[in-house]
Structure 1
């Protein structure tokens, strides 16, 4: 089967090659910056965050206000299912918590620096600005042929292993090198354009949109295994994507409807048996030639991103600040950790108490599992190498957590529910325990 040439090849080729190279450079090529190296998009985000640092709380407040307007006046998302009503309540409470934290009035347990203001600053910089600026450049990767070309090349891998279109690989890579939220926004865009189904978007959103490769280094340093970077990196990638190959075949992902976005014209990727590279190039330039102009695409992307941010920052404030308050006043996360004791025992995980604490608290934030190990090392506890690997791999492989991931994906139209995300977190933690535990028994 060969791709039909019913488009302007010259115009398409210029767009495809030009915009794709710019996108690849911005998102994937590290350049010198400060005392290290960063991808250009991260440099842009860093500079903007530093320049507008003092205004980040007001940025969160403004976006939160837009989220409230969206709920009641624009899209009127407060109507509908019980889940929609529940999320609306969470967003309203989250917005009120933002207001209280920014203007410093309300109960002290909320407005104290390490709770409300800390959460607002986290949502404003590492989350809000990153998503808004990063999403401006996403059309370069998604709209001008790169995703389509990769789809042809990677379909033989992505479809049988992960049950998703090959074209979604670019979203997976974007999240891997950039930010999980960019992955959520990117796959939602594909879903709403008919390029993948709801089930496929949920698989990508919960199976690939994990911590970026830069954060890997943070986790490795926190538990003292940076000197074994290559082994850690390979093990983390195998563990994360291997678990995704399992979760896409079991509940809850297995039972999500494999249907396209309502009222959209399906645009499934073509399958080629011969001339794969030639047809990949032709699909790329065809997509680039028929795409809307870049400025228009960016404007549409900003509009979609603002809707996501409006819901994400308000619900994120509710979930994260609320979880921090609960953590400060109760032992609930330690109790949650005991759910994993049987699995940790089966693989004879060393440093059991620390592993239990890490498992329980990981649902709050991806960084906290590694932080448990870092705190133990600072206290002079000599952690076993298996434990160190577990604490550094878990924040990546579990993927799901409340402080950013859950509010973000629930603010998109990816068809997955809160209880399904919590189930996925539990499954991914258990599978990580078995994979790293068995690896430790055999090789460490």
Structure 2
């Protein structure tokens, strides 16, 4: 009996350390913002960031001269190996699933390879490699390379050792009542808000495939909680000259995003998504806190249970390597292809001017100045987050209109050059048509709210 008690205590102590040490690093890397820009005097560091964002910025700073060439090699390799896979028998299941893709996805990989080659070496039609199209997407790739690398290996610290179970339990009561999602979605939100929107989607996709989220929950989280990061928001504000007004600017974004998160899970199309799990895996549903039980104690016990089944260091490295290779070879070509095509349509065709004609009426109804000039910027955000602010940054556009479009572009959340491409590549069950509908829904909810707040700000 005494031996059994000692053995149990040893296991409890072991699980406690397995929970505490990785979770502490997970908090520092994914949740807690620190003033890294002040601690390390390097140009290019954000003043305040979460650890994973800081590491990604370090990679971008120290490998600045190489990241574009690395992206070129990765995307060309993806295209070449995907073509070769059609002619050979691949026995390894992971490599086979990664390379032997459908004709549609293969065409995008080839297109991505063609576009990045033409953009890097400035060959072919300028419409493809101009500073308004291919160059814009090429500028995004170093950030994606860096964030995918660090998140692929470090993500287990927050999802596999009990941290999400503890934090999720603490906010579960409010998250489900308000937003129809488990409490652990709060970690996705914080990682997106302080780190990168694509990071939140990667976490969501991982949790969905493990059974922690249903299809509906994964869809809600990816389009309502994978928020544009704080550093990216400062770039938009700075571009439009609103850094002196950044606090009210970002609060406007937060209020509008909160309204979207409250409303969208209850209306079409999210309310029609089924509550089934990925490939019918067991649904690891969050337990409700029993009456009279301390919520922290209950969450801590769940965290300890999770830590007891955590993967080994070897498994983390192997799975991390697979995750990074998958994101690099499968996602980067898609971002290059989709992003360049979208920007070509936005910049060199009248498509967005034509489809935005009804938007002019809505903007005029809301009393927004320069409605005709601003209308295309309302819809063009579906292609890229930076395009709307670029389109209204001229001297001829009213300041309040610039404020509204800038805040709206951040709130719209779904961009084909970044988050949209990541969602399409993931196993989250949302198609291109769904993303466009959700983009329109977010816009219709957020636009009136942003307009009202903006008018109050500029009337003070």
CA distance in 2, matches of 1:164, 1:61: 39
Alignment of 1:148-297 (within 5 A): 148-273=165-290, 274-297=293-316
Residue 383 of structure 1 is matched in structure 2 by 398
Unpaired runs of 5+ in structure 1? Answer: none
Asked which structure has the greater RCO (Cα within 8 Å, sep 6+), the reply is 1
CA distance in 2, matches of 1:16, 1:369: 44
Residue 23 of structure 2 is matched in structure 1 by 20
Please report how far the alpha carbon of residue 198 of structure 1 lies from its aligned counterpart in structure 2 after TM superposition. Answer: 1.4
Question: Secondary structure at the residue paired with 1:54?
Answer: coil
Question: Secondary structure at the residue paired with 2:415?
Answer: coil
Question: Is 1:318 matched up with 2:337?
Answer: yes
User: Structure 1 residues 256 and 47, CA, compared in 2 at 3 Å: closer, same or farther?
Assistant: same
User: Structure 1 residues 435 and 403, CA, compared in 2 at 3 Å: closer, same or farther?
Assistant: same
User: Structure 1 residues 48 and 315, CA, compared in 2 at 3 Å: closer, same or farther?
Assistant: same
Residue 10 of structure 1 is matched in structure 2 by 13
Deviations 1:78-127 (A, max 9, x none): 989xxx6544433332223233434554444324465435533422x122
Question: Is 1:92 matched up with 2:110?
Answer: yes
Deviations 1:123-167 (A, max 9, x none): 2x1222222223322111111111001111111111111111111
Please report how far the alpha carbon of residue 65 of structure 1 lies from its aligned counterpart in structure 2 after TM superposition. Answer: 4.5
Residue 5 of structure 2 is matched in structure 1 by none
CA distance in 2, matches of 1:13, 1:417: 42
User: Structure 1 residues 118 and 436, CA, compared in 2 at 3 Å: closer, same or farther?
Assistant: closer
User: Structure 1 residues 115 and 396, CA, compared in 2 at 3 Å: closer, same or farther?
Assistant: closer
| Native 8 Å contact 1:192 1:261 kept in 2 | yes
CA distance in 2, matches of 1:99, 1:225: 36
CA distance in 1, matches of 2:365, 2:33: 42
Deviations 1:285-338 (A, max 9, x none): 221222112442243133124223322211111111122223332222222333
| Native 8 Å contact 1:135 1:182 kept in 2 | no
**TM-score normalized with structure 1 length:** 0.88
Unpaired runs of 5+ in structure 2? Answer: 1-7
Q: Which has more radius of gyration?
A: 2
| Native 8 Å contact 1:176 1:210 kept in 2 | yes
Residue 33 of structure 2 is matched in structure 1 by 29
CA distance in 2, matches of 1:179, 1:423: 23
| Native 8 Å contact 1:148 1:284 kept in 2 | yes
CA distance in 2, matches of 1:102, 1:371: 23
Residue 119 of structure 1 is matched in structure 2 by 137
CA distance in 2, matches of 1:70, 1:258: 34
Question: Is 1:110 matched up with 2:124?
Answer: no
| Native 8 Å contact 1:158 1:166 kept in 2 | yes
User: Structure 1 residues 147 and 77, CA, compared in 2 at 3 Å: closer, same or farther?
Assistant: same
Question: Is 1:56 matched up with 2:67?
Answer: yes
CA distance in 1, matches of 2:208, 2:447: 32
Deviations 1:354-391 (A, max 9, x none): 43132132122112222334x22xx2x46243x24312
Residue 432 of structure 1 is matched in structure 2 by 446
Match of 2:428 among 396, 411, 414: 414
Question: Secondary structure at the residue paired with 2:66?
Answer: helix
User: Structure 1 residues 78 and 307, CA, compared in 2 at 3 Å: closer, same or farther?
Assistant: closer
Match of 1:41 among 32, 47, 52: 52
Residue 405 of structure 1 is matched in structure 2 by 419
| Native 8 Å contact 1:67 1:307 kept in 2 | no
**TM-score normalized with structure 2 length:** 0.85
Moved more, 43-52 or 256-265: 43-52
CA distance in 2, matches of 1:20, 1:78: 34
Alignment of 1:129-148 (within 5 A): 129-148=146-165
Alignment of 1:354-369 (within 5 A): 354-369=373-388
CA distance in 2, matches of 1:143, 1:240: 29
Residue 360 of structure 2 is matched in structure 1 by 341
Please report how far the alpha carbon of residue 424 of structure 1 lies from its aligned counterpart in structure 2 after TM superposition. Answer: 0.8
User: Structure 1 residues 76 and 143, CA, compared in 2 at 3 Å: closer, same or farther?
Assistant: closer
CA distance in 1, matches of 2:128, 2:357: 28
CA distance in 2, matches of 1:8, 1:234: 46
CA distance in 1, matches of 2:365, 2:408: 17
| Native 8 Å contact 2:172 2:184 kept in 1 | yes
CA distance in 2, matches of 1:57, 1:407: 19
| Native 8 Å contact 1:316 1:404 kept in 2 | yes
